[in-house]
Amino acid sequence: MEYSLLQWIGDETLLQQFVSELSTTTLLLIIVVCITLLSKGADWMIDGVVDLARRTGLPKIVIGATVVSLGTTLPEAFVSVMAAYMGNPGLALGNGVGSIIADTGLIFGLTCVLAAVPVNRYILNRTGWVQVGAATLLVVIAVVMLFTTATDEEPTLDRWVGFLFLFLLAAYLYVTYLWAKQSGDMNLEGDEDEAEEFMSLSLSWLMVIGGLLLIIIGARILVPSASEIAHRFGVPDDVIAATMVAFGTSLPELMTAIAAVRKGHPEITVGNIVGADVLNVLFVIGAAAAATPLAIPTNFYTFHFPAMLIILFSLRVFISINKAGVFYRWQGAWLLGVYIVYVFMQYALNIGAAH
């Protein structure tokens, strides 16, 4: 029987049946290809969106905290929304929380180990507090749901929570835009020179739309493939989401960080990571919860949420004590170490498994 492209995209049963018949080796290869599509799609889209944003005259560091973060967070958003529709709330919620841990612990921690990252007061004294506040709000709502839900039922993030997060996302983007307009001293060196190097307007839009399509296709196939692998290895969906899938969808942030360090502008990474953390709560989890209520497995309260808060509040402490204006390498090593312990405890001890 022949199926149309729309059926392959929209029929969950068809995709699940297809991946269930493939060998584990083939599935792992498909996951690698999907992650490549996600990364390349995000890369193209970022280039196009940044070019369009620069035409507006917004400072580069603000673009990093909003536009670039929005682009690099799209893979997580598509994976989580699709996972929610496919009935894998652990995958949807685990991907959002796991991406925050991967972005801040792995990627930002590694960046601080490799380079002296400036403590940009504009980003960290404003957007940085939104970063911690959004994650804390998520945990507070989850805890309230835990105590207000009947003992025989699993607590959930209802759709109203998703719409609340999406509303807060719109407010965050608007306020950040106002901050950018109010401040005239945030342009990084070289912004003026780069402003003249625009690609054509049609190429910018082509890269945005083409990149978005690659992200949609990659995420659409990655979710059922990752779920099938999880079941075959006996690993819970949320553990796979919080590690392998979260790392895969965080690759755009990782590539941005590596490129920023290589070009001598590690400060761009700060805006990208902090902004991505905000979007992982408000955009990724918000969009998934708005699509369908997300059940909160018990292990999120005992493992995933605490790990996320330890990393984010560690970053806040580092910001407050860094009077020299840079993040120290030992601070990056601490963040990286927390991430490594987090991953090790899930796979070696299966602590992240839902009970």
* Residue 222 confidence (pLDDT) above 90: no
Residue 141's pLDDT is 96
DSSP string, 54-70: HTTT--HHHHIIIIIHH
Residue 66 or 322, more confident: 322
Residue 352's pLDDT is 54
Residue 351 or 287, more confident: 287
- As a whole number of angstroms, the distance between CA 249 and CA 78 comes to 10
* Residue 242 confidence (pLDDT) above 80: no
- Cα angle 243-244-245, degrees, rounded to a multiple of 5: 100
Average pLDDT over residues 225-231: 80
- 153 φ/ψ angles, rounded to the nearest 5 degrees: -120, 155
Quick check: helix, strand or coil at residue 294? strand
Residue 251 or 173, more confident: 173
> Which pair of tokens denotes residue 163?
């719409």
pLDDT digits (tens, 9 = 90+) for 56-106: 666 666 666 777 777 777 777 877 787 777 777 667 788 889 889 988 999
- As a whole number of angstroms, the distance between CA 31 and CA 321 comes to 41
Residue 328 or 204, more confident: 328
DSSP string, 312-323: HHHHHHHHHH-T
Mean pLDDT score of the chain: 79
Quick check: helix, strand or coil at residue 198? coil
* Residue 137 confidence (pLDDT) above 60: yes
Cβ neighbours of residue 329 closer than 8 Å, sequence gap 6 or more: 112, 113
| pLDDT-derived band at 355, boundaries 50, 70, 90 | very low
Helical packing angle, 251-262 and 69-85, nearest 10°: 170
Residue 308's pLDDT is 95
Quick check: helix, strand or coil at residue 118? strand
* Residue 341 confidence (pLDDT) above 80: yes
Average pLDDT over residues 199-224: 79
Least trusted range by pLDDT, from 18-32, 205-219, 297-311: 205-219
Residue 351's pLDDT is 57
Average pLDDT over residues 341-351: 77
Quick check: helix, strand or coil at residue 190? coil
* Residue 7 confidence (pLDDT) above 60: no
* Residue 195 confidence (pLDDT) above 60: no
**Alpha carbon distance, N-terminus to C-terminus of the chain:** 40
For the chain, what is the largest distance between any 2 Cα atoms, rounded to a whole number of angstroms?
67
| C-alpha dist (Å) from residue 18 to 22, 27, 149, 221, 301 | 7, 11, 37, 10, 34
Cβ neighbours of residue 80 closer than 8 Å, sequence gap 6 or more: 91, 92, 93, 95, 96, 284, 285, 287, 288
- Domain 12-349: state its class: mainly alpha
Cβ neighbours of residue 49 closer than 8 Å, sequence gap 6 or more: 67, 68, 70, 71, 204, 208
In contact, 254 and 44? CB cutoff 8 Å: no
Residue 355 or 115, more confident: 115
pLDDT digits (tens, 9 = 90+) for 291-301: 888 888 888 99
| C-alpha dist (Å) from residue 102 to 57, 190, 277 | 31, 30, 10
Least trusted range by pLDDT, from 92-106, 156-170, 179-193: 179-193
The percentage of the chain sitting over the pLDDT mark of 70, rounded to a whole number, equals 77
Cβ neighbours of residue 261 closer than 8 Å, sequence gap 6 or more: 111, 114, 115, 269
Residue 339's pLDDT is 93
Residue 326's pLDDT is 85
Beta bridge partners of 295: 156
pLDDT digits (tens, 9 = 90+) for 13-40: 677 788 888 888 898 899 889 888 877 8
- As a whole number of angstroms, the distance between CA 178 and CA 66 comes to 12
Alpha helices in 107-250 (DSSP H): 109-114, 121-122, 128-148, 159-182, 191-194, 201-233, 237-240, 246-249
| pLDDT-derived band at 190, boundaries 50, 70, 90 | very low
Beta bridge partners of 157: 294
Average pLDDT over residues 247-270: 70
- As a whole number of angstroms, the distance between CA 234 and CA 353 comes to 10
